[in-house]
Homo-oligomer: A and B are copies of this chain.
């Protein structure tokens, strides 16, 4: 069926939220800019809203007729892009057990399992191969190298090199660089979560990514920043399926982050290095423990 219209459905849902807050919608180009899609898609959304009697649309006039109801929204499963679906499905297979290193990966079988065409699976595997977890044998299958202890050690070795260098660059940023403000916001969020750790410890994962990405970005090196994708995806899925001691683990990491942030603020290279190393060492241990 050619292309899934997930962009439309997702944008439609987001437009509904906007609609709930106003009495008239802005112009098509403006809507497109806020939602992040083309005018073609915006017009499809407006047409659909008209059909549902949500708005009266005549050229520039887009009058809101009623508030959106729950059934006006497209279900969440239909708004995920195919590549997201494939990624999740694949990561579940290889991280959530039952996949030994050395196993063969079969494009056709994967595609059938997920219920999609082979082209998309193939493209996913190509994109995914840069994460070092799979390897292609041309004209033949892919090999799963597995989420092993070696993988974790190699990953963290590079991570430590990159993050130490990035942290040093961070200290050298101008005082008026926006990263300092973002650091303040991130620090405040740390305090917020810690203050209510029992109910909010699950928010750590997202904050962790935001913080480390900020640090990596100050390297101004695309290879270092891109490498953070690998770390992010591994930790993201890993935490999702591995929740033992999550509360204590996250609480400790939050404290380490705060020490690390304080060190960054001193701009003292030796202090930064010490705090950064301490946190990365404990992050590595956490990752390693959960492997066997």
Contact = CB atoms under 8 A, between A and B. Distances in A.
A69 interface: no
Interface size class of A (residues with CB under 8 A): 20 to 34
Nearest to A133: B222
B154 A165 contact: no
Question: Which one of A119, A123, A223 has the greatest number of beta carbons of chain B within 10 Å?
Answer: A223
Nearest to A124: B126
A221 interface: yes
Contacts of A227: 223
Give this chain's copy count.
2
Interface in A223-271: 223-224, 226-227, 230
A220 B153 CA distance: 10
A212 interface: no
Interface string A123-161: 100110010100000010000000000010011011001
Contact of A139 (B7, B130, B220): B7
Contacts of A230: 223
A122 interface: yes
A127 B139 CA distance: 16
A61 to B, nearest CB: 29
Given A132-B226, A139-B7, A157 B123 contact: no
Given A132-B223, A154-B220, 9 more contacts: A123-B123, A126-B126, A151-B222, A154-B223, A155-B223, A158-B221, A158-B223, A161-B161, A223-B230
Nearest 4 interchain pairs by C-beta: A154-B221, A158-B223, A132-B222, A130-B130
